[in-house]
Structure 1
């Protein structure tokens, strides 16, 4: 595949360039590439914009939810729902329900989506501690199963297992050792609720064990203004934070949260945004009664990306949605348009409407 004359943000602005793709990789990025000695599909993209694909590091692609009963169980996501939202790499995980759902189910859905064209990974675990795993051991899951990048657990939430610091420390140690032995980053991905001092257990573990903060990735850190301030504090201390791209809930929008942190002096590379797609966003009253449940969708991620793009420009917005997630997860060949990187691209028209998606070197969605 040869893409000609396309305005490219890699995420840095490369201007108009030609990009040659083969064997799912970017093979050349040059100002002009002539005719090729092999059969090549050539696309003139003079009126289009090219970016890296979005990397969604928190998506319930096997389905989740269940608060409110069986009628509120979210269905598994289709590959088309991800692609039309610009997602070329997705990391799946369990939600509240780890009784009727399993990590193995998430893994099998990851393989199915991979076969349909996108790149997939998963987190083992769920809300519960002790964690639900595939092999019976957190570290073995991370070491032995290529798609497993780390562990998910819930903290500071009425639906969590309310682990002690000692329990949490032991799990964090397992994640770190597994990362070291597997050559992965080893991510302890944390669903954060709204309890007071929500990241206390993370800080205490870091203080007592010296396990580096980069292993911990708290998400949903824009649930409300108080949690957003906790995100700011943690990021200024050197931690990484992830915001959720829910567009119609009564909480700070992800793009607003990102701007708030940047204006307060947080380095851009400590911030990511994910969709929480396929999960539920339940609303409880002050006494803990369930009032409503919204099933989240992948399109929220693209909505927040476009809103952020308008405020901080494509280079910084792409860092938050592509480059930073790739680096956070240790995906060394994703998140940028460079020679040797995976050919995962989004093709926009000049007004930033998504026109096509290239994943692993193939046009898998849209028409150009």
Structure 2
């Protein structure tokens, strides 16, 4: 395996820092995988044997947090040949992802939470930060310990649970099942010091957001612990999602869903409707299958989601919708970190993890640091996964 220990001290000099707030031209000092100082000018000889990196003319941003990735592959809706493969490290880092949350999808028959946990731990060993959700499309949820509550409370990398609702591929969960699952995730989070969230894959059914309201009506789970994702997959669902935010909820827009509501357009529409950016997150659904169904529910095509759509959405927000770069970055950085309780992620500040994205002013990825380790240089992965 490659040596993943970062240099003792690294001084990043002269970049324009978006933390995500615009801090102007700053120097940033890293040590032990952490950000330890930010200032307009940090002396190059502040510590002995400091590695100097000139980032003049570059923009320095927090690394992306992608909270919805099929790390061990998704798919399978058209048989074994349509099972998407596992993701490799460099596919994530080249896209600017330094923190990732893995989950299962339709297939919890040939894929298992135990395998996902192993993959999550492998990615942590290879240099980025990886977490996971227990569960899958089905309820009762497939788990490792036999209990959602125990999985979240006792297994180090598990943050919460995932299910699927309003989708013809879900297990048609009843109100009580959903409420119990969400409550178990919530209590497991309390016991284990985790966020204890419930992520709901939203399908195209006319049920829309009703299953989430059923959870709220039949349990005492706070609305801030429920996350509907893929909300830009239909106009009907998106309008309901906007209303969900008005009740205090957070919604997740999928960059890998290009229509009917492209992700940048969805974020712009939500903001124009008065949704605070803190209640909007963006994720890729990367490495998941992208099935296409006809009106009768028959599969007519399938593809695999990539990760480039994250940065493409940021670029479109800035160039197409005139967002400031700080605002365009928030759904991938500070908003996600706040929702998941990642106190050491999502921003450039002393004490935070040194998860950093260096870009050119035209928003092309130049370098990526994960916990202070240089993973991408000149847009090319310089650290690769074990079997790449």
TM superposition score category, shorter chain reference: over 0.9
Q: Which residue of 1 aligns with 2:5?
A: none
Q: Which residue of 1 aligns with 2:350?
A: 339
CA displacement 1:90-121 (0-9 Å, x = unmatched): 00011110000111111111111111111100
Q: Which one of 264, 287, 293 corresponds to residue 278 of structure 1?
A: 287
- SS of structure 1 residue aligned to 2:81: helix
Normalization by structure 1: what TM-score? 0.97
1:354 deviates by 0.6
1:204 deviates by 2.4
Q: Which residue of 1 aligns with 2:6?
A: none
Correspondences of 1:256-275 after superposition (within 5 Å): 256-275=265-284
Q: Which one of 3, 11, 35 corresponds to residue 2 of structure 1?
A: 11
1:67 aligns with 2:77: yes
Structure 1 consecutive aligned stretches of length 4 or more whose deviation exceeds 4 Å = none
CA displacement 1:3-26 (0-9 Å, x = unmatched): 011100000000000100001000
CA displacement 1:303-362 (0-9 Å, x = unmatched): 112212333121111111111111111111000000000000000112211101011011
CA displacement 1:126-153 (0-9 Å, x = unmatched): 0010100111111111011111000000
Q: Which residue of 2 aligns with 1:138?
A: 148
Normalization by structure 2: what TM-score? 0.92
**C-alpha distance in 2 between matches for 1:132 and 1:210:** 23
- SS of structure 2 residue aligned to 1:127: coil
Root mean square deviation of aligned Cα: 1.2
1:210 aligns with 2:220: yes
1:199 deviates by 1.5
Q: Which one of 353, 360, 380 corresponds to residue 349 of structure 1?
A: 360
- SS of structure 2 residue aligned to 1:272: strand
CA displacement 1:192-218 (0-9 Å, x = unmatched): 101113221211221332321011001
Q: Which residue of 2 aligns with 1:149?
A: 159
Correspondences of 1:306-325 after superposition (within 5 Å): 306-310=315-319, 311=321, 312-325=323-336
Correspondences of 1:2-81 after superposition (within 5 Å): 2-34=11-43, 35-81=45-91
- SS of structure 2 residue aligned to 1:43: strand
- SS of structure 1 residue aligned to 2:90: helix
**Unpaired runs of at least 5, structure 1:** none
Q: Which residue of 1 aligns with 2:171?
A: 161
- Contact 2:153–2:190 under 8 Å retained in 1: no
- Contact 2:73–2:85 under 8 Å retained in 1: yes
1:367 deviates by 3.4
Q: Which one of 124, 127, 131 corresponds to residue 137 of structure 2?
A: 127
**C-alpha distance in 1 between matches for 2:150 and 2:318:** 40
- Contact 2:175–2:218 under 8 Å retained in 1: no
1:296 aligns with 2:305: yes
Q: Which one of 105, 108, 118 corresponds to residue 98 of structure 1?
A: 108
**C-alpha distance in 2 between matches for 1:223 and 1:75:** 24
Q: Which residue of 1 aligns with 2:211?
A: 201
**C-alpha distance in 2 between matches for 1:216 and 1:240:** 7
Q: Between 57-66 and 195-204, report the one with greater CA deviation.
A: 195-204
Q: Which one of 120, 133, 137 corresponds to residue 110 of structure 1?
A: 120
- Contact 2:12–2:27 under 8 Å retained in 1: yes
**C-alpha distance in 2 between matches for 1:201 and 1:244:** 20
Q: Which residue of 1 aligns with 2:385?
A: none
Q: Which one of 245, 259, 265 corresponds to residue 255 of structure 2?
A: 245
1:328 aligns with 2:336: no
Q: Which one of 367, 378, 382 corresponds to residue 367 of structure 1?
A: 378
Q: Give the total of aligned pairs.
A: 367
**C-alpha distance in 1 between matches for 2:215 and 2:299:** 32
CA displacement 1:21-76 (0-9 Å, x = unmatched): 00100000011111123211101111100000000000011111111111111011
1:241 deviates by 0.4
